[in-house]
Amino acid sequence: MGTSVRVELWSENRAAGEAAIAAVMHQMHHIDDTMSHCKPDSELMRINRCASDGPVAISQPMVDIIARALDFSKLSEGAFDITYASVGHLYDYRRGIQPGEDALARGCAAIGYRNLILDRQRRTIQFARPGVRIDLGGFAKGLAVDDGVSILQARGIRNAIVTAGGDSRILGDRRGRPWTIGIRDPRNAQAMVAVLPLQDVALSTSGDYERYFERDGVRYHHLIDPATGKSPSSVRSVTVVAPDGLTSEALSKSVFVMGVDKGMRLVESLQGVDAVVVDAGGALHYSSGLLAGGHQ
């Protein structure tokens, strides 16, 4: 998944604990093998190669995650959209490459979650037009931490944290104390802008500092606004706390694209969801639940 994965848990039996961690890691590798946009033989890459030509048979987990993605696209009015990859694949952040205006326009024309024809009964997906690509990117990390916690629960683990990059799912507390999760300063990797004491929740952070390059004073980063095919610049980072990893991941991306005002209105409309946003000027914005001591 292009990131580091970490599991920390408490077990009375060391061997059982190590076996539980191994089971989580096995599932992480399976998700990476299935949903990677880097591995040519992954299910996701097969979809991108073939779905413009007709319906492609897909696995039930792929049906489920694409269905959830479509739900979040509707909820966010298109701010979250896995077809952003129709443009996203044109950027190379390591080499500092961005698409020209013509390529950008062609890519943007293919963006739109309504271009995905998902048949849940037949378990197929088809693209409504050529040029469409999907990328489950960070969304699959949300699934990975959710699956990880489910595996641990099934093995009787009650206190744990599963982390994949900027996504964490917390199970229980840390043996009588909450888990403390720091939110890094987007412009200083050694500093924290906030520390949240949490238990039994998921947390996702999306930031403009993860993969980016700068040119002529503009920061081009991996978070893409589906409406423009370009990186939003009104926000530096968004951290969302939610009941599960898929929700926190999708909403952190949505709020980043929507900006502080519109994004926070979406957060405030959802039960059990909170957010911390660092805007382009470095100012912090907290949702009302966190200001009132929620999730703490």
CB atoms within 10 A of CB 59: 11
Within a domain: 165:
no
* pLDDT tens track, the chain, 296 positions: 778 899 999 999 999 999 999 999 999 999 999 999 989 999 999 999 999 999 999 999 999 999 999 999 999 999 999 999 999 999 999 999 999 999 999 999 999 999 999 999 999 999 999 999 999 987 899 999 999 999 999 999 999 999 999 999 999 999 999 999 999 999 999 999 999 999 999 999 999 998 999 999 999 999 999 999 999 999 999 999 999 999 999 999 999 999 999 999 999 999 999 999 999 999 999 999 998 765 54
Domain final residue, candidates 68, 103, 127 = 127
Q: Is residue 28 in a domain?
A: no
**Helix (H/G/I), strand (E/B), else coil: 128:** coil
Q: What is the pLDDT of residue 2?
A: 75
**Does 114 map to a domain?**
yes
> Does 186 share its domain with 108?
no
Q: Quick check: is 54 in a domain?
A: yes
User: Residue 106 burial (CB < 10 Å; 0-12/13-18/19+)?
Assistant: middle
226 belongs to a structural domain: yes
Q: Are 253 and 80 in contact (CB under 8 A)?
A: yes
Residues 218, 224, 227, 233, Cα dihedral to 10°: -40
What tokens were used for 106?
């062609």
User: For position 96, which CATH number holds?
Assistant: 1.10.3980.10
Residues 118, 192 share a domain: no
Point out the domain boundary residue: 91, 106, 127: 127
Among residues 89, 112, 127, the one where a domain terminates is 127
CATH number at residue 212: 3.10.520.10
Residue 53 lies in a domain: yes
Q: Determine how many CB atoms are found less than 10 A away from the CB of residue 289.
A: 18
- Could you give the number of structural domains in the chain? 2
Residue 66 lies in a domain: yes
What domain range includes position 247? 178-291
pLDDT tens sequence across 43-66: 999 999 999 999 999 999 999 999
Same domain, 122 and 194: no
**pLDDT tens figures, 118-135:** 999 999 999 999 999 999
Pairing of β 124-127 and β 212-215: unpaired
- Shared domain check, 190 and 260: yes
Specify whether the backbone of 78 is left (phi greater than 0), alpha (psi in -120 to 50) or beta: left
pLDDT score recorded for residue 70: 98
The answer to the question of residue 25 being in a domain is no
193 lies in the same domain as 283 = yes
Q: Could you tell me the pTM of the whole model? A: 0.95
